Structure 1
């Protein structure tokens, strides 16, 4: 049975025709840019699918396969002749003449400068602060780390990170000394995401940079939440198999952080929360009101984006 109080999705092809007043609709350039990136996303999704179907290639063989999603492509000539050769604006957006290339996404700046920089712990920690989701990084207040989940429902979800895992911090401080001096931080996705639930313990070094000390990955017990979590802790390593396992652990952190940002921080706590205030502002305040003038730039395109997101949440 369907919930009569829930929204229903529009048929394919109609999601771009949701009614909004003219001042809340995408402008021409915004719509063209949006459609161009949709087409690029579809293209980069379909090509691997065709390869998997016809050539049996179902996974990346090397990191170069990932890099091939960015940059490169078919480069187009620059200059006024492009306006004559490609008359439609949306095709100009798709067939970019900058570094993106034909049906390609722009190469991330870090990889563009150094294709291996992402592997270092220093860069991993720096990108934590450079990302949009840095506000959930907290100063550690207690140790061992505790979960806020109800143990009667979810069992023991407290952290498995011990003092032995972080005794080799760069400054030789004890856990208590590091906490007292506000030098230990935690990026905790454990209670929000399963599986893999992640906790990352970060140390503020004397030179002002951050360094990950330990990563905890957790899985729920199969079919029985009350038994708690199956957890394993990983520490930095630069040699042998352990170094590759450490890189994979950091990859789980990045994936969880991105997912949390997109779904919770960005969509729920920003776009979805602000929409009622947008509607109330448009209904209750004059466009000449100072508060309206202050809020209006931040509301630009938001309702249109929200409508498209609800139709295509994936």
Structure 2
């Protein structure tokens, strides 16, 4: 307690230091916050939430957000490190308990129906990679499906061109994989599928596959597979599509489009905003472990002996795949309302990723709009905030590679642009990551059932010469299977959990008190109430479904990427 006989004026800054003379020299303290009561009875909050080392002076600003602050305060919690051994985490958790609580076991329905075409089509909408399917009104020229090929699967009396006009045809196209060489296996390059799959929304409102071409260019050695082919031919063709889907899911939808791009947003946040800035306070809970998780992911996935080295693409092929995907990444593809509209999927039934995702986007948008609007009362204030402008310009330059065609704003000109971009950031690191991450164990167990692995012996070049034993051979030996490497990924995830002081923080929860304003706290309560209500609605809907869609239940969504 410091007493004074006269007011000291407005308290703007605290400096704290751990003195090694009074405690063990190798001890570190974790300071959450400091509350100061003034002689006038006002309580001032100074958030800290960082470790204090010996002889280190830490400057703390007050808990009220200040825009365009000239003092930049370093956050040592996210200080730069070069080796995973430098990460200092406190405590060890049971990785088994963590994994089992986060990833539900596959249902009996999955094991009983994994070969069914309608369940296969369902996974393009509600599996862990719902980002590639789109409505199509004509076929690409390299996918020569004819009327006679698919007539048995269409509504009676309805020609193919009419079904295109009615909006009942959908395309899944993995052209991004075309031309990437597979990894070397016994001195030869593994063949990689780059499939096209035509899907049909039938009169029963079930999405079913009706034609598959395993490679991009049609030829006698690259036939179009149909449901009327032998059961094993058709099954193997579907497995080829699944194999490609697993590769793009892990490398693009999951690793690149959530983990890696959000790291660039976080690094720009640390470089451009002081701790007192309201945008920093709003976003920092959503980047809680991103640098630590990604450092370990680079080692366990992209390292010399990482999991991606074992898949069909190999490490070099995986990096080339991500490079191609980065060239195609657009700002609108990260905003789910724009993405759903661009792919023509507004009305397809039983699309729970869309239904839940759009509602979550709206809830997040309302919250962000209220918080941002509290601090920025006009567009002019946005334009004049040099720290905010530095943040988005750095993201435009380093994440979107300075390309205007990708749609990312180079600068913010109005409040709504800030609101939309921050909504996208929070959605990506929480909701989008949950959509592509939370079902992985279930998906791997399912795909091991369907043998969605690397393809070495059977190349799907002719029909009908495939037998079930050929399908077994197509899964490769244990060391080459992408399914096995998928399980290896989760073994590596267990190593990661040993480093983390795991305390699950769900979307909408803000245990670190960074804002002092009562208005902001009230906005947080409204945010939590909206998420809780949606969670109840999703649980009620799922209770009536044979295959519940749980990935975007707010009670299952972390506020940041932690695994």
* Cα deviation code 1:247-278 (max 9, x no counterpart): 11111111211110111222223322222221
2:230 maps to 242
Measured in 2, the distance between the counterparts of 1:201 and 1:306 equals: 36
Quick check: which has more Rg, 1 or 2? 2
Instruction: Report whether the alignment pairs 1:278 with 2:271.
Output: no
Deviations 1:21-58 (A, max 9, x none): x7xxx674xxx5xxxxxxxxxxxxxxxxxxxxxxxxxx
Partners of 1:135 and 1:98 in 2: CA distance: 25
Of 175, 197, 200 in structure 1, the residue corresponding to residue 197 of structure 2 is: 200
Partner of 1:232: 223
8 A Cα contact 1:128 1:134, kept in partner: yes
TM-score (norm 2): 0.33
Rate the CA distance shift 1:118–1:107 in 2: closer, same or farther, 3 A. farther
Cα shift at 1:219: 7.5
The structure 1 residue matched to 2:277, chosen from 278, 289, 292, is 289
- Bigger shift: residues 275-284 or 304-313: 304-313
Aligned to 1:180: 165
Q: Which runs of 5+ in 1 are unaligned?
A: 1-13, 33-88, 147-157, 221-226
Matches within 5 A, 1:87-236: 89-90=93-94, 93-94=95-96, 108-110=105-107, 112-113=108-109, 115-143=111-139, 145-146=140-141, 158-172=142-156, 173-193=158-178, 195-218=192-215, 230-236=221-227
Q: What is the CA–CA distance in structure 1 between the aligned matches of 2:283 and 2:98, rounded to whole Å?
A: 35
In 1: Cα distance, 2:103 partner to 2:254 partner: 22
User: How does 1:47-58 map onto structure 2 within 5 Å?
Assistant: none
Instruction: Sort the Cα spacing of 1:298 and 1:168 in 2 relative to 1 into closer, same or farther, 3 A.
Output: farther
Aligned residues of 2:177 and 2:193 also touching (Cα < 8 A): no
- C-alpha displacement of 1:288: 4.2
Aligned residue number for residue 57 of structure 1? none
CA distance in 2 between partners of 1:129 and 1:142 (Å): 20
Q: Does the C-alpha gap of structure 1 residues 97 and 113 become closer, same or farther in structure 2, counting only changes over 3 Å?
A: farther
Compute the displacement of 1:131 (Å). 1.5
Quick one: higher RCO (CA 8 Å, sep 6+), 1 or 2? 2
Secondary structure of 2:227's aligned partner: coil
How far the C-alpha of 1:99 sits from its partner, in A, is 7.7
User: Normalised by the size of structure 1, how large is the TM-score?
Assistant: 0.57
Cα distance change, pair 97–310 in 1 and its aligned pair in 2 (3 A):
closer
Partner residue, 1:251: 239
Deviation string, structure 1 residues 129-166 (Cα, Å, up to 9, x no partner)? 111321211111322x24xxxxxxxxxxx224333322
Query: 1:287 Cα deviation (Å)?
Result: 3.6
Report the CA distance between 1:178 and its aligned residue. 1.4
Say whether the 8 Å CA contact 1:133–1:265 is kept in structure 2: yes
* Aligned counterparts, 1:31-70, within 5 A: none
In structure 2, the CA distance between the partners of 1:298 and 1:164, relative to structure 1 (3 Å rule), is farther
The alignment partner of 1:279 has SS state of: helix
SS in 2 for 1:197: coil
Q: Does structure 2 conserve the Cα–Cα contact (< 8 Å) formed by 1:198 and 1:215?
A: yes
CA contact (8 A) 2:135 2:167 kept: yes
Distance 2:283 2:163 in 1: 42
8 Å contact kept, 1:170–1:205: yes
For residues 303 and 280 of structure 1, the distance between their equivalents in structure 2, rounded to whole angstroms, comes to 12
Report the Cα distance in structure 2 between the residues aligned to 1:16 and 1:126, rounded to whole angstroms: 40
**Cα distance change, pair 232–108 in 1 and its aligned pair in 2 (3 A):** farther
Contact 1:219 1:229 in 2 (8 A): no
Q: Verify the 8 A CA contact 2:168 2:202 in the aligned structure 1.
A: yes
1:184 to 1:113, Cα distance in 2 relative to 1, 3 A: closer
Across the aligned residues of Structure 1 and Structure 2, the Cα RMSD in angstroms comes to 3.3
Which ranges of 4 or more aligned residues in structure 1 deviate by more than 3 Å? 96-100, 105-108, 227-230, 286-290
Report if the CA contact (8 A) 2:154-2:160 is conserved.
Answer: no
Match of residue 56 from structure 1:
none
Q: Does 1:303 align with 2:330?
A: no
